[in-house]
Amino acid sequence: MPKEDDVTQFGRIKDEVNVRLPQCIEQVLGQVKEYNAKQVDEWSEQLGQGVLEKLQELSGNFKYIVNISLMEKKGAGFHTSSAVFWDPESDAAVSYRWENKALVCVVQVFGVGM
């Protein structure tokens, strides 16, 4: 999908964001076989940069906020929720959960029109 500079509603690109998020996660975490707390900061930084680059490729008309949660998978539950107040015409959010045998990753993307 080419960059759409005329897109002013984040909702119009949400489907494509949902396609790109797992690609970014797989690139950073796909080969991780074991949770390592010492690498979480590095993984988060790499993932955040990769996600922002992909989002900018889609459209530069938004301020993007990316929240990354990484947790060791030990059988405990994991629940996350966000509340937002914004312009429903131009702004939206996407949340994507990914996991393997070692960890759980939740990426939340908020697209806010400028």
The answer to which of 12-21, 30-39, 48-57, 79-88 has the lowest mean pLDDT is: 79-88
Q: Say how far apart CA 101 and CA 86 lie, in whole Å.
A: 37
- Report CA 52 to chain centroid distance, whole Å: 8
pLDDT (tens digit per residue) in 63-97: 999 999 999 998 777 777 777 778 888 888 899 99
- Superfamily, domain 10-113: Tctex-1 (3.30.1140.40)
Cα three-residue angle 88-82-50, rounded to 5 degrees: 85
Other CB atoms within 10 A of residue 15 CB: 10
For residues 67 and 12, the model is more confident at 67
Average pLDDT over residues 37-47: 96
**2 pLDDT band (50/70/90 cuts)?**
very low
3-state secondary structure of 1: coil
**For the chain, domain boundaries:** 10-113
